Amino acid sequence: MKVLNKVSDAVFRFEKWLAVLLALLLLVALAGGVLYRYLLKLPLFWADELAIFCLIWMTFVGGSMSLKVKEAPTINLLTDTVSPKMKRVFLILSNVILLVFTAYILYLSYYWLSASNIKVQTSTAMNMPKIYSYLSIPVSFICTAIHLLNSTVMALLGREEKGGLQ
């Protein structure tokens, strides 16, 4: 299971770099849009749209990352009052439920992205194929599935996976 742990860590490193790149692109697009609009009186018509696409990708990638570092929002009312063994059972159960949900979203996104009308949709300002932003869903949910599988296997083996940013 060391392989799965290494794959999850590699995916997380990729997600970190992608999040940083997207954040920088978002910052440059918005700052450039403001500077060009108010200082040069030449608005960048595509800047807001690029920022939206970056934000979409950052949202989904960040959701996957939050599961890896165990920083996703949780309700601990029940798990704080039970034994460590029951805590592990709840962790495994919640991971299995999330894996089923993730698999369902991947299934739906496959059929959604396979539709013929998706391939011809383009963005308004940049005239970029919208499928590039739509791909954020299956890509991030594949990463989520890898992190959840790793967490579930670690819990089944009784190993505690460290949380927090590495």
Label each residue of the chain as H, E or C.
CHHHHHHHHHHHHHHHHHHHHHHHHHHHHHHHHHHHHHCCCCCCCCHHHHHHHHHHHHHHHHHHHHHHCCCCCCCCCCHHHCCHHHHHHHHHHHHHHHHHHHHHHHHHHHHHHHCCCHHHCECCCCCCECHHHHCHHHHHHHHHHHHHHHHHHHHHCCCCCCCCCC
Mean pLDDT of the chain: 92
Task: Please give the pLDDT value at position 163.
Answer: 59
Task: Please give the pLDDT value at position 158.
Answer: 85
- For residue 141, pLDDT beyond 70: yes
* pTM exceeds 0.75 for this model: yes
Task: Please give the pLDDT value at position 161.
Answer: 62
pLDDT bracket for residue 162 (50, 70, 90)? low
Give per-residue pLDDT as tens, 67-116: 999 888 887 878 888 888 998 999 999 999 999 999 999 999 999 999 99
- For residue 122, pLDDT beyond 90: yes
Give per-residue pLDDT as tens, 33-45: 999 999 999 999 9
